[in-house]
Chains A and B, each alone.
Chain A
Amino acid sequence: MTLDKTDPRPSRRSNKKATSPLASYLLRRLGTSVLLLLGVTIVTFALTNLVPGDPITAALGEGASNNPATVAAYVERYGLDQPLPVQYLTYLGNLLQGDLGRSLSTGRAVTADLAVAVPATIEIAIGAILVSLFVSVALGTLAAYRRGLVTDQVVRVVSLIGLSVPTFWLALVAFNLFFLQLGIAPGSGRLSPQLSPPPTITGFHTLDFLLNGDSVGFVDAMAHLALPVFVLSLFTVGLLTRFIRTSVLEVLDQDYVRAARAKGLSGARVVLDYVLRGASLPILTVVGIAFGSLLSGTVLVEAVFAWPGLGTYAYNSATSLDLPGVMGVGLVVGVIYLLVNFVVDLLYGFLDPRVRLG
């Protein structure tokens, strides 16, 4: 691994300096990713094993865990009598065959659980990213144009409020207000009780309904997304707006923007074609970061809306000390994190030809 020592995120900086072709970049990237994922499995494995909690009692309950025969059978079945390193290697071996083990809490294969939970969460996360990107680009650009004026201060306070609201509380208040009091939002979950989920194609309810031409289902799924997405977006708007403001400010001072204005282009044209294009790289970076914080926020929001996503699954497996479940979540989250960063890096090269990935 050749890593540049001056950058906090080595894989990034090394993009620019290295002279080897794209293939070697991808390979190096893959290498560090695999190492990081390996680290993730070690951390989760260590966490769930080396701590005082007793997974056997947690899985079997007080009563059954007092029965030595039951405990012995359980230990035998899940290989818990093996030394820890052996258990870990067994896990890794199975992992390579795409087997994440069987959840101790749901009793189903972790991969099957995750196949349901991950799309549910990604659906919210993508919705929230889109909404908050739209809102914060508008707010951030506005603030940059009105720098130092009242509008700028108002936007600043709004984004700070967004960062300060406890997400779980906002979720509860929104749920209470819009569902219970006003009745204009649907209740918890991904669908209304009278509807049955669409045949799974992608796992995203909205998309699956669309692919089936079921407009009633699609509208219902979208309506159920509205509140969680709104609640999650507020924090992300706070996160993104200040950043976009700064990026836009930097671009506004550039000669090419001045030139575009001077040759008489309309304000909207200048903003869309010159300013936002120029500011797109930093915006992209912070969107990547925001995605991580969204995954965090989704745990608390899912708890309120009874959303059967990754956050709910993580919570259930963490509280029942379900080792395979927790490790599955850790892996998936690690993979999502790496993928998002990877896509961000690729988009860099796409948006700015000066950035060479090779």
Chain B
Amino acid sequence: MIRRRRIPIPRAWLTPLAVIGVVIALAWVLIAVTAPLWIPYAPNAQTLPRLQAPGIDTLMGTDSVGRDVFSRLMSGASVTIPLALALVAVSLTIGTTLGAVAGYFGGWVDEVLMRLTDLVMAFPTVILAMVIAASLGPSLFNAVLAAIVVSWPAYARVSRSLVLSLRQQNYVIAGRLLGFSPVRSLLTDILPNIAGPVVVLATLDVGTAILLLSGLSFLGLGAQPPTAEWGSMISSAIQNFDAWWIGVFPGLAILTVVLAFNFIGDSLRDILDPVSGGAREAAATTAVAPGQPNAREAVA
């Protein structure tokens, strides 16, 4: 067999990709926490000349009402990042619980829960989230609720398929024979073993959540003015195409945060191979997390 010379892949968490991802993500988290202490202007203060190009005074220029884009951008981190993390945590909890219950108990419970996920997944995420956010009334909180509704099914599917493969394992059966209650069996025998893949999915999902939230805000269904939120900052750029700095910088902010989490998630996935089944099953569970490496690849 023809073998190519390969650079041995170092341990996944030491790859440049993972390190870059962690550094950028930590930097943004740091910015989110400390921004109020050092940004040059209050994010909503309309005290500067309007539509001023980036310069020494205003690093990223000013917008159409004389606010400092740089200050708004930095304080925007504390709007988007915590919400995205909370959103992912809630979706993960709901999805994993329902998925684990469906997989463990099977029967009609499984049937009902899985048809429910099918139903939610039959809608394109943005369209469903948009309808929910619009019906609840435009606000950042409602946008988060809408995003949760469309996000949990991915976790339900992944955790269900993992539980299904685990519950036939001898140690789980042994636990059941010892008289473990379903709750105990799920919590002590099964949960620790499905945590890895679910965490990978969640890391990648942080990026998706940020994109979804900022997208909803861009459409006017999330953050309301004058909140310094990246998506709505970009949408305000539509009225001032010549002032490119109003829209370009918030977009770069979103891009770097999302990219950082995707770098981390993708590197994690190399270590913890979530679904080692066939490509079809992998595809079914990875609408949000594409490109499953197979077991062989992860070992190589």
Contacts and interface: CB of A to CB of B under 8 A. Distances in A.
Interface string A277-302: 00001100110010011011101100
Contacts of A293: 124-125, 287
B291 A321 contact: no
B234 A168 contact: yes
A337 B122 contact: yes
A241 to B, nearest CB: 7
B289 to A, nearest CB: 10
B126 A297 contact: yes
Interface string B224-260: 0000000100110110010010011011001100110
B119 A166 contact: no
B147 interface: no
Describe B's contact surface by its main secondary structure: helix
Contact of A160 (B124, B160, B220, B266): B266
Given A40-B123, A311-B127, A285 B283 contact: yes
A231 interface: no
B215 A334 contact: no
B207 A7 contact: no
Contacts of A334: 122-123
B11 interface: no
Contact of A299 (B126, B235, B248, B292): B126
B132 A36 contact: no
A43 B119 CA distance: 9
Interface stretch (A68-76, A222-230, A246-254): A246-254
A159 B64 CA distance: 35
Interface string B207-219: 1000100110011
Given A282-B280, A318-B134, A300 B219 contact: yes
A303 B219 contact: yes
A282 B281 CA distance: 10
Contacts of A163: 207, 258, 262, 290
Contacts of B231: 166, 168
A9 interface: yes
Interface stretch (A47-55, A83-91, A194-202, A204-212): A47-55
Contacts of B143: none
B115 A39 contact: yes
Interface in A152-167: 153, 156-157, 159-161, 163-167
A232 interface: no
A30 interface: no
Given A164-B262, A166-B251, A169-B251, A247 B279 contact: yes
A308 interface: no
Contact of A168 (B1, B106, B218, B266): B218
A63 B130 CA distance: 26
Contacts of A18: none
Contacts of B1: 258
A144 to B, nearest CB: 10
A329 interface: yes
B86 interface: no
A243 B4 CA distance: 21
Nearest to B290: A239
Contact of A242 (B6, B251, B254, B291): B291
Contacts of A249: 294, 297
17 contacts: A6-B164, A10-B114, A12-B280, A36-B118, A39-B115, A149-B6, A161-B259, A164-B211, A172-B234, A243-B291, A246-B297, A295-B127, A296-B127, A318-B134, A330-B127, A333-B127, A334-B123
